[in-house]
Structure 1
């Protein structure tokens, strides 16, 4: 269904659902920005490199016109995310392993957005895409100790940041910080 009478250089959010009798589908939401049709040329040669199961590095060539920044949008399976940057390089973090992403990039020229350029990439697979502890991160190939996100109750759970010790006794140890409280008598 074509959308008509949209304002140029304007951000929109759209939510859709379908109905059949007394049944409703799951909501699907997306966000987009219309182009301004003015304001000069946009960025060029958007590429995704160093793609891992959870992050890529996005780079592009700047336009010949002066820009005040860039609007970066990326989407997966009905979920849309947005970032602003004034650099020509951006690393996306906390992506879903083994998933296809669509990225849109526009130049911001003082509130007027240029035509978007796009790229698609797929993050790599992991043996345990939603690790529940550091032993699963070790099996995913993480060799260095440090902070990681784990999913104690699986994919549907909220991730928890923990320290993984990957050196002691063959590694895979989950270390959690415990706050100590000083009591007065």
Structure 2
């Protein structure tokens, strides 16, 4: 008798456990409307449009003016650069710029001997051995913010070089081939 009771109890438990193991979707009525969207559409961030221009003089050639529109054609890049201060390197910033090598290629040059960069009262002289080609260029944004008229709309950025190798408010670039 005990055996029958145990078998009956086991059968009842198995029936109850199987009846409780249903698929939740099977008992949910079908939706008649489309499910709500759970993710927001991607946000589009647009960089501020900075209008600027810099005169470029290649010795022995006709001067040209490079603008923000030319920069878009050249292909702006983001570089991380920091000023070297003695034995220390100051905190790095991200600059939106055109690389010097890309600018030179755009105006038809492959090499240079010396470049002078003139800004408000400062002239920076650059030779090929004083730049990192992948981290030297002309920037118009820093850390996502546009440079402004008080500091100059275009900045010469030369990674891991001292302040005398950087320039704010670039107005003229002179190239000696």
TM-score by length of 2: 0.25
Higher share of residues assigned helix: 2
Higher share of residues assigned strand: 1
Which protein has greater RCO, CA pairs closer than 8 Å, 6+ apart?
2
The structure number with the bigger radius of gyration is: 2
